[in-house]
Amino acid sequence: MHQKSLPAISAACLDAPVEAPGSAARDLASPRFRRRMWLVMNIALLLLVATFWRAVALDHVPGVNGDEAWLAVQAQRWLGGEAVTWRTPTGNPLNVFNFLPLAALHLWLPPSVIALRLTAVLCGVLALGVNYLLCRWVFGRRLAIVSTIVLAVLPTCIAYSRLAWDSSQTLLFMLPVIYLPLAAITDNRRRVRCLLAAAVAMAAAAIVHPTNIFAAPLLCVAAIYCWREELRRLWQRPFFRQCSVAAGLLVFAALGCGLLLAPRSIVGPPLLRLVQPRTAGQFMSNLIDLLSGTTVYRYMAGSQENGAAPDTLAYRLAACALLAIAAFGVWSTLRCANRSVWRVLAIGWGLGLAAFYVIGGPAAIQPHYERYGMWLMAPTALLISQGLAWWLLRRDVWRIRPALALLPAWVLLAGFSWNYFDVFARTGGESHVAFRTARVEPKVLALQLMESRQPNGPVRIVAEDWWSYWPLAYLAGGQHDVTVIPAKGVDPRAVDPADQRDQPPAPAAWRVRLVDGYDGASGWMGTKPGAVILDDAGGRPLMLLTPPQGADSKVNLSNLRRGQPAALSVAPVVPPVRSPGRMVKGSL
């Protein structure tokens, strides 16, 4: 779309002066060429590090959780010819775009944390390439490079590329939803094909996660703009105006009746959000945290919990300043003439954001729930990229070396290393117990340990919570001598009807549960002779394993399939109050 015509290129070539011998060598040695190569090397290294961050330590950072393993268990059952639950425990349709690749991988790969998360990593890396191609097609190479860098270094995009969740595919599936309507505006001859393809992409994105439907206003705004002349001519007809007014009145009447008849608990909160500026301010603050990575740091690693801490405060202020600079660039772009495509994007993004705020409120993108707001990453990153590109083109304002413009990107990658990887390495994680981990993923180690304690007999495991049941059920998949079943009292949504089987008596099975530190473990240790505690990387109790009667009372580490345990403690027959000094630890 943004290429010169062949005659123009030929004329430029004919009019160009003939280069003298040695001029090419002088160009290679010129300062401008060296600066350009330095910039290219910086961009290449930046993208390489961003890709590396998506894949490094994937087998244990963060700890595998029940939501990830649930879908993998469904894939295992489908491959084995068993019944599959086609709705998630929250009632959403099963994401076939995640389910089918996961099933295909397990035709060749045994159950493992890497196999579980490989699809998410590939989707995260593929999204960068797809963004470059689509953005170059619609806007040109310069913005394609900037937007790809922005998506590569956003901490939320990196963190979600490391988890086997449905939302991890949102970025990849949202890119066609964003670029195809904009392509329909830039090339009016392809408007029908582009908008139809965008509608298909929107349906696919809604299957990935239902909240992606909030991007639909962009398609509507783009369609209205593409057919604005036709709609203007129709509006001049009295019959069309009358029908439009009547249809609008019917829609408003239906909405009014729905508001009156709906329970106050459902209608009240969205209406209050329309008149509460404080709620809107909290929503925008959560949006800034989502873009800067503070949300995923707090949710997954447990870092930046104290918003008033000097380092956290400085990080958030720097993120606000950078976003303000980008916002000014976007505003300046919208004020220019012939910027219809950006106005359509801004209006569609604003309508979707407003609807998302009214329905979901600030809680929809706060830590632990930010997956509902992943649809915002693609359009917001594109707007940020255009705002930054506007500044990069201002030679009278931007008088620093181009490579220094990448400094904020390097800061974001360094911040991810410090607030994510370093926290897991030092403490094992400070957030939800399901994400806490060690050098060897504790649930993987637990299964290896239980198998090593009963080398000559079938292993039966009763998991006492969602977060241990589904990972163990997945990791034990395909092993006929290992059975994992949920304990009574586990959340009914966590158990499929196929799992409601006869449970073995307690003495005949291992009992497994996650515990939260010393307080969670000490209350159980006194009544569990021979129990085994697995600690996280910070030395805190994380998993409690109670052996069945007749199991080997010694931990046979030689039978473990992978490495040494990160931290291990075996309780004697009459266990004392647990203390860190009685732990048997390996290296981290």
Question: What are 359-391's pLDDT values in tens digits?
Answer: 999 999 999 999 999 999 999 999 999 999 998
| Exposure string over 111-134, b if 16+ CB within 10 A, otherwise e | bbbebbbbbbbbbbbebbebbbeb
Q: Is the pLDDT of residue 475 over 70?
A: yes
Q: What is the mean pLDDT of the chain?
A: 83
Q: Are strands 567-570 and 584-585 parallel, antiparallel or unpaired?
A: antiparallel
Structure-model confidence comparison of residues 491 and 210, the more confident one: 210
Confidence of residue 403 (pLDDT cuts 50, 70, 90): low
The residue among 134, 120, 152 whose CA lies nearest residue 55 is: 120
Please list the residues that pair with 543 across neighbouring strands. Answer: 514, 534
- pLDDT > 90: percent of the chain: 57
Please tell me the predicted confidence (pLDDT) of residue 306.
81
- Please write the tens of the pLDDT for every residue from 80-98: 999 999 999 888 999 999 9
Higher pLDDT, 112 or 481: 112
CB 448 within 8 A of CB 566: no
Q: What is the predicted pLDDT for the residue at 251?
A: 82
Which of 425, 458, 310, 304 is closest to 367 using CA atoms?
304
pLDDT digits 0-9 by tens, 320-336 = 999 999 999 999 999 88
Which range, of 161-165, 371-375, 558-562, averages the lowest pLDDT? 558-562
- Is the distance from CB of 97 to CB of 109 less than 8 angstroms? no
What are the pLDDT digits (tens) for 234-260?
A: 888 888 888 888 888 888 788 778 766
Give the C-alpha separation, 279 to 354, whole Å: 12
pLDDT value at position 517? 65
Q: What pLDDT does residue 577 have?
A: 32
pLDDT at position 520: 53
Query: For residues 312, 323, 221 and 351, what is the CA-based torsion angle, rounded to 10 degrees?
Result: 40
For residues 477-498, average pLDDT? 69
Predicted confidence (pLDDT) per residue in 278-292, tens digit = 899 999 999 999 999
Q: What is the mean pLDDT of residues 142-167?
A: 96
Predicted local distance difference test score (pLDDT) of residue 349: 97
Mean pLDDT, residues 300-322 taken together = 87
Looking at residue 581, its pLDDT comes to: 28
Between 517 and 369, residue with greater pLDDT: 369
Least confident piece of the model among 56-70, 72-86, 248-262, 461-475: 248-262
Query: How many Cβ atoms sit within 10 Å of the Cβ of residue 24?
Result: 10
Any idea what the Cα angle at residue 541 is, between residues 535 and 542, rounded to 5°?
75
CA–CA gap between residue 421 and residue 27 (Å, rounded): 43
Q: Where are the beta strands (DSSP E) in 81-224?
A: none
pLDDT for residue 397: 55
Which three-class secondary structure state does DSSP give residue 338?
A: coil
Average of per-residue pLDDT across 562-576 = 39
In this structure, are residues 426 and 537 in contact, taking their beta carbons and an 8 Å threshold? yes
**What is the spatial distance between Cα 108 and Cα 121, in angstroms, rounded to a whole number?**
18
User: Does the pLDDT value for residue 24 go beyond 60?
Assistant: no
Chain centroid to Cα 503, Å, comes to 36
Instruction: Write out the H or E segment, with its range, that includes residue 584.
Output: strand 584-585
Q: Residue 204 pLDDT more than 90?
A: yes
Dist CA 56 CA 48 (whole Å):
12
Which of 429, 196, 199, 416 lies closest to 300, judged by CA? 429
Question: Which two tokens mark 544?
Answer: 């409690």
Phi and psi at residue 512, to the nearest 5°: -125, 135
| Domain-wise residue ranges, the chain | 10-232+281-424, 442-585
What is the residue-wise DSSP string for 470-521? HHHHHHTTT-TTEEEEEPTTS-GGGS-GGG-PPPPPGGGSEEEEE--HHHHH
Helices (H), 106-140: 113-138
pLDDT digits (tens, 9 = 90+) for 176-193: 999 999 999 998 889 999
Q: What are phi and psi of 514, to 5 degrees?
A: -85, 140
425 and 537 in contact (C-beta within 8 Å)? Answer: yes
Would you say 52 and 455 are in contact if contact means Cβ atoms under 8 Å apart?
Answer: no
